[in-house]
Structure 1
Amino acid sequence: MKTIFMLGLVLPCIALAQQPSKVTPQQFVNLQEGDIVHKGFRRAHAKGICISGEFLSNGSLTKYTHAKVFEKGSTPFIGRFSIAGSNPSAPDLKAPVRSMALSFATSATQQWRVAMNTPPVMAVSDPHTFYQQIIAIKAGPEAIQKFFKDHPESQDFLNWKSSYQPSGSFAAETYNSINAFYLINEQDEKQAVRWHMRPTLTATPEGLKGEDALQQELQQRLAKEDIVFDWVYTLATEADNENDPARAWPNSRQQITAGQLVIRDWQFQLKGECHSINYDPLVLPEGIEPTADPILRARSGAYAESYRRRAREVLNGALEANSNE
């Protein structure tokens, strides 16, 4: 079955009788499930591994936001590396998209969930066009070529796709917010930003081979050393449209390194805390707000629907036989 990788989602190309004017979270998740439902697992990025560590903030973003995680100091996190797809047993190295998710809890009421992917932008700007692209892929190569020709907003995504070379390690990838958010400071001033996690590895690892190559490489690496990423923020100007996830911002925009993410440990996902966390990108702390980006809203709804389904399945014992996943 052909697939398309966007939004950090893997959607089977299912022909639809009609194109809905408004795509619902239920429709997105139905597409993600396809013909085979892996009960108890995420409908997208089903295969993953839990990670934990701390974010070491250097305080450089306090001018732009009063979010506590950016005060100078350390904040622990529970996170997850994953590959695209709805199959929890998929081969690691065949997945074209890799992801990093993080969960911070700075108080009993303040939480932040971060969901990042290797693509820096989306191919389209709204959920309805997302559906149109799926239909074009189902129709074949000529249809998808025509789709991209008719949708020039896809060019930044296609430029990335043509140059991207997957590495042999989760630790060597760059992970992007894709969507933009607002940083809010004490004066209630608003700054639109995107961010990326930039690896600090000086050489690209060759990695391992096999179905679980990325997970095994991560385990071996963490047995010897911490994994470190620089957390880099790009500040938008008035010339940038923060509500369009398909448009890349120029490299000339100001960038600020907020600190370093240090990964110290890992766990199998069904034995770790990350499996029960819904990494909804709209779970935000004070000092960070969402933009009006419609794809961002669609991501949040799809994450919530996926979580609801798998939580019900877990309650009914779906994962009792999968102790080593």
Structure 2
Amino acid sequence: MVDRSPPPSRQKPPLSAASIVLRLAGIGAVVVAATGIFAYVGGYLDPQRLTPQTFVNTLEHNNGEHPGYRRNHPKGVCVAGYFESNGAAAQYSSAPLFDAVRTPVVGRFALPTGNPYSPDSGAPLRSMALRFTQGNGQQWRTGMNSMPVFPVGTPEAFYGLMQATAPDPATGKPDPSKPPAFFAAHPEAGPFLAWAKSHKPSASYTTENYNSVNAFYLVSADGKRQAVRWNMVPVAQDAPGDQAPEAKDYLEQDLTQHLAKGPLRWNLVFTLANAGDPTNDASKAWSGDHKTVNAGTLVLESTTPQLSGDCRDVNYDPLVLPSGIEGSDDPLLAARSAVYAVSYHRRTREVDQLPKTAQESKQ
């Protein structure tokens, strides 16, 4: 890849916390990891009856309304391929996909912005969503992001972040005084802000590392439960000094060019929790030494436009899990699941309002 980094004299100064929030173009959409964050059993979060519908309404208010598109991560592209297990995770999970077999996969790369026509430089994060379909018909769906942790650990705090980054009616832009005030009241966001200040977005979907962020459990055939987080670690890497260009729509084109040369690969690496590692707070990293298990390789072979590809009608609900994988006690998981459902039902009712295939090129 070509080194597009500016000369030292043109390097930008470090970003403040407020600048980072504005640069992420709706950080609330980013940290929720694919639009979903609210509602427990019964559909309500708290005595104020904050519902999944209210949360999606807030996404629409913050990001604008784009009928037929996902309410978050709306700019993306479908991919397809398979997962080839090496058998190493079979001792931890009874899910057949961890046997030494191939499991078909339909996935999606996306940008965590709220506008399907935003430039690729509009967000420094990338996301990967996957649906594994086992031979027994059970599915594993997962939505991952390039950030290692969420800014906050509860749905209530996340909703507060969305409110802090909402556009001011007078200016149409977020009030620059509100994000710093929010973060001052939420010191748990420190690890995320530290990462955001130093993170350099990958120049390609193909060289990015994607993280589960939330914790889950692998459940073995004899019922043993092991808490894990996981990463999709790319086999390809950015060249030294390579950085994302400023072009509006380079990511999908770059992906297509890479796939024309052959399949793309990521290793699925599980990090096994140690005693005392939090499973209910995605804002906290697991520190210290941990055992990791490389479970096999994700191989992506093809891509199609998101408005006509197989991923279009998939709800990448993180709690659609096969036997052998279970959700943790992280409250963001149940919230994500509920809001994903609301977003899915809204956009599928609007399918007749989607742009023509030719308009897909505007993304």
TM-score by length of 1: 0.91
The structure 2 residue matched to 1:301, chosen from 338, 345, 348, is 338
User: RMSD over aligned Cα, in angstroms?
Assistant: 2.1
Is the alpha carbon distance of 1:40 and 1:20 closer, same or farther for their aligned partners in structure 2, counting shifts above 3 Å?
farther
Structure-1 residue corresponding to 2:221: 186
The higher relative CO (CA closer than 8 Å, separation ≥ 6) is in 2
Is the alpha carbon distance of 1:43 and 1:195 closer, same or farther for their aligned partners in structure 2, counting shifts above 3 Å?
same
Is the Cα–Cα contact under 8 Å of residues 20 and 128 in structure 1 kept in the other structure? no
Secondary structure of the residue aligned to 2:312 is helix
Bigger mean CA offset, 52-61 vs 206-215: 206-215
Is the Cα–Cα contact under 8 Å of residues 79 and 103 in structure 1 kept in the other structure? yes
What is the rounded CA distance, in whole Å, between the counterparts of 1:296 and 1:302 in structure 2? 10
Structure-2 residue corresponding to 1:16: none
Matches within 5 A, 1:107-256: 107=135, 109-137=137-165, 140-204=175-239, 210-256=247-293
Is the Cα–Cα contact under 8 Å of residues 195 and 232 in structure 1 kept in the other structure? yes
What is the rounded CA distance, in whole Å, between the counterparts of 1:55 and 1:308 in structure 2? 29
Do residues 3 (structure 1) and 26 (structure 2) align?
A: yes
Question: Deviation of residue 6 (structure 1)?
Answer: 1.1
What is the rounded CA distance, in whole Å, between the counterparts of 1:3 and 1:96 in structure 2? 12
Question: Deviation of residue 172 (structure 1)?
Answer: 1.1
What is the rounded CA distance, in whole Å, between the counterparts of 2:358 and 2:176 in structure 1? 41
Structure-1 residue corresponding to 2:317: 280
The structure 2 residue matched to 1:258, chosen from 295, 310, 313, is 295
Secondary structure of the residue aligned to 1:52 is strand
What is the rounded CA distance, in whole Å, between the counterparts of 2:243 and 2:175 in structure 1? 34
Question: Deviation of residue 293 (structure 1)?
Answer: 0.8
Secondary structure of the residue aligned to 1:309 is helix
What is the rounded CA distance, in whole Å, between the counterparts of 2:164 and 2:117 in structure 1? 28
Is the Cα–Cα contact under 8 Å of residues 8 and 97 in structure 1 kept in the other structure? no
What is the rounded CA distance, in whole Å, between the counterparts of 1:136 and 1:311 in structure 2? 29
Do residues 29 (structure 1) and 52 (structure 2) align?
A: no
Structure-2 residue corresponding to 1:104: 132
What is the rounded CA distance, in whole Å, between the counterparts of 1:202 and 1:270 in structure 2? 29
Structure-1 residue corresponding to 2:43: none
Aligned length: 316
Unmatched runs of 5 consecutive residues or more in structure 2: 1-21, 37-45, 167-173
Is the Cα–Cα contact under 8 Å of residues 80 and 301 in structure 2 kept in the other structure? yes
**Cα distance per residue 1:123-160 (max 9 Å; x no partner):** 11111111222333458444432332332211221222
Question: Deviation of residue 94 (structure 1)?
Answer: 2.1
Structure-1 residue corresponding to 2:88: 60
Is the Cα–Cα contact under 8 Å of residues 34 and 143 in structure 2 kept in the other structure? no
Question: Deviation of residue 108 (structure 1)?
Answer: 5.5
Is the alpha carbon distance of 1:149 and 1:158 closer, same or farther for their aligned partners in structure 2, counting shifts above 3 Å?
same
Is the Cα–Cα contact under 8 Å of residues 199 and 230 in structure 1 kept in the other structure? yes
Bigger mean CA offset, 205-214 vs 118-127: 205-214
Question: Deviation of residue 225 (structure 1)?
Answer: 2.1
TM-score by length of 2: 0.82
What is the rounded CA distance, in whole Å, between the counterparts of 2:165 and 2:64 in structure 1? 20
Identity %: 43
Is the Cα–Cα contact under 8 Å of residues 8 and 99 in structure 1 kept in the other structure? yes
What is the rounded CA distance, in whole Å, between the counterparts of 2:220 and 2:319 in structure 1? 18
What is the rounded CA distance, in whole Å, between the counterparts of 1:21 and 1:245 in structure 2? 24
What is the rounded CA distance, in whole Å, between the counterparts of 2:182 and 2:266 in structure 1? 36
